[in-house]
Amino acid sequence: MLDLLTEHLKSAEFRAMVITLGSRGSVYADQNGHSGFCPSMKVQVKDTTGAGDAFCSGLVVGLTYGKTLAESCEIGTRLSASVIVSNENVCPRFLPRELGIDQ
C-alpha cells in the first residue's frame, strides 16, 4: 500500500497524503520522500463511530503545531484509539503535553 501511495502522490502532485487502514493502522507519504507506516494501538474496541474524525483531528493538530507527518499520524492514532474504547463517540480531553505538543 505504501508503494502505491507514494506513486499516486507524485502523479497527483499532492504535497502529502495519509491513508487509514482501520485496525491495521495508516500509511503516509509526502513529496519530500518521507513515508512510512503508523501501526494502530491495540485496544478493546467498543464502538468505531467517530474514529476517522478523531484520527483526522489529531493529524491536523499535529501538523498545525509543526509536528512531522509521522508524529501527526501517531497523535491521530492515539485520539482515534481513545474514541473506540468507549460507547461515546467523542474524544476525551487531552492536554497538549499529553500529545507531545509544546505550546
In the sheet that holds 16-20, the strands lie side by side as 16-20, 26-30, 35-38
Rounded mean pLDDT of 86-99? 82
Percentage above 90 pLDDT, the chain: 65
Residues 6+ apart with CB under 8 A from 34: 28, 68, 69, 70
18 or 4, which is more confident: 18
Q: What is the pTM of this model?
A: 0.88
**pLDDT attached to residue 96:** 85
> Which tens digits make up the pLDDT trace of 57-87?
999 999 999 999 999 999 999 999 999 998 8
Lowest-confidence range among 10-14, 34-38, 64-68? 10-14
**pLDDT attached to residue 103:** 65
**pLDDT attached to residue 46:** 94
Mean residue pLDDT across the chain: 90
**Cβ atoms of 69 and 34 closer than 8 Å:** yes
